[in-house]
Amino acid sequence: MIYSFFDKIKHMFVLVKFLLLPNLCLVCKNTVFSQDDICLDCWHKLEFITSQTCSKCLERLSGTDVLLRLNHLPVCPKCYRQPPFVDHAKAVFSYTKEIRTLIIKFKHNDSTELSMFFAKLMANTGQELFTKSDLIIPIPIHNQKMRKRKYNQAFLLAKYLSKITGDINKLQPNILYKSKPTRPQEGRTSRQRTYNIKNSFSLKNPDLIYNKNILIIDDVHTTGSTLNECAKILKKAGANQIYTLTIAKVQKDATMSVYDVGM
């Protein structure tokens, strides 16, 4: 292969840049080859959800519970007795220390470049849900929070996801909006979370969602209170099926308490 003078200069520039400004792992700061990536050690520590989980709340199923079904999907006894408004939930990872580090960086440190990293993984996990959905709606944040944070991480995920899957025309970020500011969810029990978030979302142009299957996008599925509150509003306005897709699920049995997820 013959390299031109300009190719040589380009390669030299890449090498110098790598030596002077090495790419660092987004979690542990070890050197990595490509930008906005994580090292192999951290990659191995990420925990993909592989065990059987409830299709609605994403809690792990064990024992004879793995046999319970609702509309042909596996469910836990709690969701079997009282089905939530969400019909089918999926998440890529279990909420571990490494994922927590990445999500907090994504959410609070302007590390918006992480949206593509997460979106690629979410597109893979949520393939089936994208096919079944007519609309993609990110969980909105209140204007007050938007002014402070400058971006809505759920919108960024939904935007990149819909680009990757070729569903950009399904993206509807303005139908659902946060009409009432709420206090942070961390430190609250599941019941308190449900109460805190209640009636804080509203709809614009609700006729657009009538009889539609909707995929809701968010970053973390903790107890599911927020996702379920949004699903409730959408269903009350006539939506058909509601699916949810998130980066990570905080399992009840995780060593990290669900009430201390640093969100």
Minimum Å gap between C-beta 175 and Zn ion is: 27
From the list 65, 34, 53, 135, the residue with the least C-alpha distance to 92 is 53
Nearest Cα to 26, choosing from 88, 92, 95, 116? Answer: 116
Regarding 39 and contact with Zn ion (CB under 5 A), the answer is: yes
Task: Tell me the CA distances in angstroms from 212 to 57, 134, 139, 170, 208, one per residue in order.
Answer: 21, 6, 17, 11, 8
**Token pair 């996801």 in the structure block, residue:** 161
227 interacts with Zn ion by CB under 5 A: no
CB of 170 to Zn ion, least distance (A): 27
245 binds Zn ion (CB under 5 A): no
Does position 57 bind Zn ion by CB under 5 A?
yes
DSSP string, 133-160: -SEEEEPP--HHHHHHHSS-HHHHHHHH
Number of H helices, E strands in the chain: 10, 11
Least distance in angstroms from the C-beta of 121 to Zn ion: 16
- DSSP letter assigned to residue 219: S
DSSP secondary structure code for residue 4 in this structure: P
Question: Is the CB of 7 or the CB of 41 nearer to Zn ion?
Answer: 41
> Which residue's CB is nearer to Zn ion, number 30 or number 194?
30
If one asks whether residue 42 binds Zn ion (CB under 5 A), the answer comes out as yes
**Shorter beta-carbon distance to Zn ion: residue 73 or 263:** 73
Contact status: 116 vs Zn ion (CB under 5 A): no
61 binds Zn ion, rule: CB under 5 A: no
In this complex, which beta carbon is closest to Zn ion, that of residue 4 or of residue 82? Answer: 82
Closest approach, Cβ 43 to Zn ion, in A, equals 8
Q: Is residue 28 within the footprint of Zn ion (CB under 5 A)?
A: yes
Alpha carbon dihedral 199, 178, 57, 222, in 10-degree steps, equals: -110
Calpha distance 235→105 (Å, rounded):
33
- Assess 79 for contact with Zn ion (CB under 5 A): yes
Per CB under 5 A, which region of 77-85, 110-118, 204-212, 229-237 contacts Zn ion?
77-85
The C-alpha atoms of residue 34 and residue 182 are separated, in whole angstroms, by: 39
Asked if 217 touches Zn ion (CB under 5 A), the answer is no
Contact residues for Zn ion (CB under 5 A)?
25, 27-28, 30, 39, 42, 54, 56-57, 76, 79
